[in-house]
A and B are shown apart, each in its own frame.
Chain A
Amino acid sequence: MQTSFVKHQAKWIVALGILGVFVSALVFIIGIAVGVAFARPGGLLDAGASPFAVSPSIAANPAAVNDTTAEQGRQPSLNYALINDVLRRLRTQWYGEMPSSAQLTDGAIKGMVAALGDEFTQYIEPRFARLLNDDISGVFEGIGATLRQTPSGGVQIVRTFPGSPAERGGVLPGDIIEAVNGMSTQGLNTIEVAALVRGPRGSEVTLTLRRAGRVRPFDITLVRERIEIPLVSSRMVGDGAIAYVSLFDFSQPASRQLEKHLKELLDKRPSALIFDLRDNPGGLLSQAQEVGDIFLKQGVLVIERDYRGNKKVTRTTDRGIAQDIPMVVLVNSGSASAAEIVAGAMQDRGRAVLIGERTFGKGSVQSPQTLSNGGQLRITIERWYTPNDRAIHGTGITPDYIVNNTPEDLREGKDPQLEAAIAFLTTGKTPPPTPFPTVEPTPRP
């Protein structure tokens, strides 16, 4: 009886033990499954050295504080699985040396931002963001040149200032900057290249340039200087009958200095005025308003529309010193931003005749956001429209009379645009119309 009970109990214990082992194993497997399942929501198949190896659920999104919070919550995250799949292939198969995670991330952000199709929304890598000071006009001190992005992604010299190191050193408009101090500009935008070019006065910078008509890129070494260009220059033209004034940009003292020059010019009792906004890259909106005030009576200067759909109208006040004098505004493809606002308003309101070339077409405002890695994202948040609600952005302002200055004119010191303006103001002679391209007549059925 006793032994059978012991036997029976032993069997029971063994059975319980086996069951326990099975249950334990099952629970252990469940544990693994739970672990795998909970680590997956980021969809990260291969986190190896992936810069994207973080669950998007912890995205501390600083933008999610405004009215779009709800939308942010619903926003599908990036397809990390797809991106990581690509990176995994690269790591195992690519022939070259893999860039660092930070470089890949910077590249991915640039690629994402490029998908917006807005050349002014730009991402600045952390190493360049640190070098940046707030330079809203895109003009930089250092070598005395302005830059732009080419459609193929290169960075090109637009203009060199007279007497600047760039001009003296032989840099020409149209040159493509391939490298700065030996560092390739591949994949960099204008702001990043500008940051590389700038530096302390007296220091050297070597540009590697590619120029049309030359097979190989070549180096030019320049000594950086403080570029001092008079903000306003003025003189009498057309046998002393017409006042001419040009504005370099719309930085802080622009309107005050312009007014000072105008007062002196108007004392000479000119019959008309030429206001030169060519190659003026713009600047502060407040300066555009004050400059507009000088020439325009009460009315609309510019309409701003922001990302929330809000409309804001900026008006000129009736207190200018040059509101009635006959006037021509000279513009070209280098006239941008604030310069386009002023030119567009003068044209829409019949205040001045515009002569020159179609303007640049930058009617937007960028707001810089600093990301957690120190990089900077400059996002287009606002677009500008002329008083007649024409979009400045993209299309630019088309002058009333198109007159082109060719590179030959520039070399020979000629200025057909200014000559056309003088002729128009003295004799009323309008420049000849620009010939339209020949169009084949549409065949009729």
Chain B
Amino acid sequence: MNRLEKALAVVAFTLWSAMLVGVGYAGHMLLDPAEARIVQVRGGNTLPLLDEAWGYVRAHFIGTVPSNTLRNYGAIRGALATLNDPYTTFIEPQPRAIERDHMRGQFGGIGVSFRQNEQGEFILTPNPDGPAAKMGVREGDILFSVDGYVLPPAADFEVVARIRGPVGTPVTIEVLRGPSRQRLSFTIVRQLIEINSVTWRMITSTVDGRPFLIGYLKISTFTERSGAEVQRAVARLTEAGAQAYLIDLRDNGGGALSAAVEASSVFLRDGVVAFEVRRSHPGIEHRVRSVPVRVSEHQPIVVLVNGNTASAAEIMAAALRDHRRGQLVGSKTFGKGSVQLIFELSDGSAVRVTAAKWLTPARHALDGAGLVPDVEVDGSPAEQEAQAVEVLRLAATKRAAMSR
């Protein structure tokens, strides 16, 4: 080959390579149709309206222009608002962190609760035996700073988010104590704090002159630990001879659905706890089955409900009733049968999306309707409870009469 041929070969090869690069560039669009559409949108000459609008705001607005983060959050909130679904919402990182802790039912903390006074100051109440109490924090101390950060008033999410952290790590808080507002500093190592969602006790009543033991179980919310908590409580109560159960779901606004399924399973034979309907598969009802954790299969049950009994709590109440395991006593429930999925976003914020509707085992829709109790009692909480005990006693009396 002479020089000319070599030069021609090089030129030909270069052209060949350039063509391949071009084909490759075009090829990536075939691989990813979404990318192809961008080009289409560009061709369609659609302007990025959000940036266009914000350009005007930045140029002309007289007040302080909020940070880019707040602007992003605003845009997301605004887009979600067009759905007209009060349950599809955006959650900023700090509230999301607190919600996550709540769902898990545990977090790294120092064992204090707080309330705000009129000046927006945070008045602490340390849990007895909690890490903060052990280090000397007292009831009535006013929180002043967390790790050197002086708290602005009315920043409750921020306070919680700053105090919480990984178990075993230290946090330094300053408090103001007493009328002289003496400033004291405490360094406290965060420990595992568990949210107890279930409280229980035995109610002793009588049927035909003989003692009648009712296991009382209050589930205040559904965390991921609630299922296990219910299981443990029912095991103890059964051991102690509970002949019936009173499950108090009043003011339980819901929470983790899996926990409600587990808690229901404690009282149900194998079966459907609920049906799930998704938009992507209209007409198809997914069975949500109970899990094998049965502890109490035959003791009669009364479920106490009220207008604040919502979502996961309604699903549990309906499951027990539809399987003829229990009766509902109290007032009509809230009526929220939609299920939200939570998607965490890259910066720690999250979006809650209504993704499904749940139907009760008897295929009643909960959404907007609520459950009407078998025995309606609109009186005080104590009256409702007394009526619930009465319903259980009556059932036991009937059973006793039949067995005689």
Contacts and interface: CB of A to CB of B under 8 A. Distances in A.
A109 B75 contact: yes
B20 A58 contact: no
Contacts of A123: 53
B16 A111 contact: no
A135 interface: no
Interface string B6-41: 000000010011001111111111011011011101
Nearest to B31: A32
Contact of B16 (A24, A93, A186): A24
Interface string B51-90: 1111111111111011010111111111111111100101
A59 B48 contact: yes
B199 to A, nearest CB: 34
Contact of A79 (B46, B48, B68): B68
A307 B26 contact: no
Interface in A1-60: 20, 23-24, 27-36, 38-39, 42, 44, 46-48, 51-56, 58-60
A110 interface: yes
Which of B29, B31, B72, B349 neighbours the largest number of chain A CB atoms within 10 Å of its CB? B72
Contacts of A85: 343, 345-346
Interface stretch (B310-318, B353-361, B395-403): B353-361
B320 to A, nearest CB: 26
A57 B21 CA distance: 24
B5 interface: no
Contacts of B13: 20
Contact of A35 (B26, B52, B74, B76): B26
B356 A95 contact: yes
Interface string A210-242: 000000000000000000000000000000000
Interface string A186-209: 110000000000000000000000
B341 interface: yes
A90 B83 contact: yes
Contacts, number: 284
B179 interface: yes
A305 B62 CA distance: 8
Contact of B28 (A36, A78, A79): A36
Interface string A365-407: 0010101110101011111000000000000000000000000
Contacts of A371: 49, 52-53, 56
Contacts of A87: 79
Contact of A78 (B25, B50, B180, B343): B50
Contact of A109 (B29, B50, B68, B85): B50
A61 interface: yes
B162 interface: no
Contact of A377 (B38, B57, B85, B90): B57
A306 interface: yes
B32 to A, nearest CB: 7
B42 interface: yes
A291 to B, nearest CB: 25
A116 B79 contact: no
Given A86-B80, A379-B57, A54 B41 contact: yes
B72 A95 contact: no
Contacts of A117: 63, 66
A54 B79 contact: no
B39 to A, nearest CB: 8
A5 to B, nearest CB: 14
Contacts of A47: 34-35, 37-38, 41
B351 interface: yes
B42 A381 contact: no
Interface in A64-104: 64, 66, 68, 71-72, 75-79, 81-83, 85-87, 89-90, 92-96, 99, 103-104
A377 B78 contact: no
Q: How large is the interface on B (under 10, 10 to 19, 20 to 34, 35 or more residues)?
A: 35 or more
A350 interface: no
A423 interface: no
B52 to A, nearest CB: 6
Contact of A99 (B37, B48, B68, B83): B83
Given A27-B20, A36-B32, A56 B71 contact: no
B37 A48 contact: yes
Interface in B225-246: none
B72 A82 contact: yes
A42 B24 CA distance: 20
Contacts of B181: 445
Contact of A95 (B349, B351, B355): B355
A31 B22 CA distance: 6
A364 B62 CA distance: 9
Contacts of A432: none
Contact of A27 (B21, B50, B63): B21
Contacts of B52: 59-62, 371-372
A269 B90 CA distance: 65
Contacts of A335: none
Contact of A108 (B35, B70, B76): B76
B347 interface: yes
A445 B61 contact: no
A95 B357 contact: yes
A186 B84 contact: yes
B24 A31 contact: yes
B296 interface: no
A113 B53 contact: yes
Contacts of A39: 28, 35, 38-39
A377 B59 CA distance: 13
Interface in A152-205: 184, 186-187
A104 B353 CA distance: 15
Given A23-B17, A29-B24, A96-B85, A109 B61 contact: no
B66 A369 contact: no
Contacts of B220: none
Contact of B347 (A24, A27, A76, A82): A82
B386 interface: no
Contacts of B57: 112-113, 116, 121, 377, 379
B47 A110 contact: no
B290 interface: no
15 contacts: A38-B25, A55-B38, A58-B42, A58-B47, A62-B56, A68-B59, A78-B51, A93-B341, A111-B78, A115-B70, A116-B66, A121-B61, A371-B52, A379-B60, A381-B60
Given A31-B23, A107-B82, A114-B74, 13 more contacts: A29-B24, A48-B34, A53-B38, A54-B41, A54-B46, A63-B55, A95-B355, A106-B82, A110-B81, A112-B50, A112-B75, A117-B63, A121-B61
Interface of B: 13, 16-17, 20-29, 31-32, 34-35, 37-39, 41-42, 46-63, 65-66, 68, 70-85, 88, 90, 179-181, 278-280, 338, 341, 343, 345-347, 349, 351, 353-357
4 closest A-B pairs by beta carbon, nearest first, are A111-B78, A31-B24, A115-B74, A35-B28
